[in-house]
Amino acid sequence: MNCIVCMTSVPDTASVIKVGGDGKGIDGSGIKWIVSPYDEYALEEALQITEAKGGEVTVVTYGPDRAEAALRDCLARGAHQAVHILGGEATLGDSFTIAKVLAAAIKDREYDIVLCGFKGVGTDCGQVGQMLAGLLDLPHVVNVLELEVGDGSLTAGRDVEGGKEKLESPLPSLVTCQKGLNEPRYAALKGIMAAKKKPVEKIEVASLGVDEGAGGFYKVEKLELPPAKAAGTIIQGEDDAAAAAAELVKLLREEAKAI
């Protein structure tokens, strides 16, 4: 059972976001780039599938040089192979271009299941998996919280508003992974040392026949920070909580008109 995991590297979730000099992207100085948190669930699930059923996990990422650290992190956690498609600075948030690049790099490989995080943390699009499935002509299931891989098909569970869905899909399939699917492992020292020696296959994006400079499908006009908020009304409620509660409810009713 061979698994392909699509991984993207993103700013650490604790990062303070500042607007970069071009007014369209973020200021990358001082930012630590990590494996996008949802991709960790995809990798962990792939590792568990291959541990149970044999086969290999190949992690594919598309990004500039800095993405290699996250790719090495995946190798350290147990991925067998790593593919780094070099490029991607111009395509942040352009889900369809990203999907085209990934599809071109994946289509001739052997796989039974492709796993992605349900979204990249940061651009927050949640689209690449579905688009990639379309380009590879695979069925897909997004947001999976439960996954059972059988012979020739998989069953999956996910949350939808106000309920849960159970799905079945033939293999090969693409799934996107949601928090709660598993508990991602950390890299152990031994894995980190071994990962340093594992080769990373490098592919120039141009060699995949995708022109990054062609304008793409998502043009960012500007990036802005939210306006600073005025100070709120804070009530001291340590001594008389009931009076504070009554005052708050009155303010919410009469001033904020929120209840």
Partner 1 sequence: MAGILVFVEQRKSEIRNASLQALSEAKRQGGAVSAVLPGSGIGEAAAGLGAWGADKIYVADDPNLDLYSSDGYAEVVVKAVEQAQPSAIFFAGTAMGRDLAPTVAARLGVGAIPDAVGLELDGETFSVRRPVYSGKATTTADTAGNTPQIISLRPNVFAAEESAGAGEVVALDGLSLSIRAVVKELLEAEGGELDVAEADVIVAGGRGIKGPENFALIKSLADALGGAVGASRAAVDAGWIEHSHQVGQTGKVVSPSLYVAAGISGAIQHLAGMSSSKVIVAINKDPDAPIFKIADYGIVGDLFDVIPPMVDAIKAL
Scan residues 211-240 and list those touching partner 1 (CB under 8 A).
215-226, 229, 232-238
Q: Kindly state the smallest distance separating residue 141's Cβ from partner 1, in Å.
A: 5
Q: Which region among 42-50, 60-68, 173-181, 195-203 touches partner 1 (by CB under 8 A)?
A: 173-181
31 is a contact residue toward partner 1 (CB under 8 A): no
Q: Kindly state the smallest distance separating residue 209's Cβ from partner 1, in Å.
A: 15
> Footprint of partner 1 on residues 110-149 (CB under 8 A)?
121-128, 130-131, 133-135, 139-143, 145
The candidate with the shortest Cα–Cα distance to 121, out of 228, 212, 7, 220, is 7
8 is a contact residue toward partner 1 (CB under 8 A): no
178 is a contact residue toward partner 1 (CB under 8 A): yes
Identify the helix (H) or strand (E) that includes residue 97: helix 95-106
Q: Kindly state the smallest distance separating residue 193's Cβ from partner 1, in Å.
A: 29
Separation between Cα atoms, residue 179 and residue 146, nearest integer Å: 10
Residue pair 163/178 in contact by the 8 Å Cβ criterion: no
Q: Residue 24 corresponds to which tokens in the numbers above?
A: 């369209």
Cα dihedral 73, 74, 76, 79, rounded to 10, equals -170
37 is a contact residue toward partner 1 (CB under 8 A): yes
Q: Residue 122 corresponds to which tokens in the numbers above?
A: 């940061």
44 is a contact residue toward partner 1 (CB under 8 A): no
Residue pair 178/41 in contact by the 8 Å Cβ criterion: yes
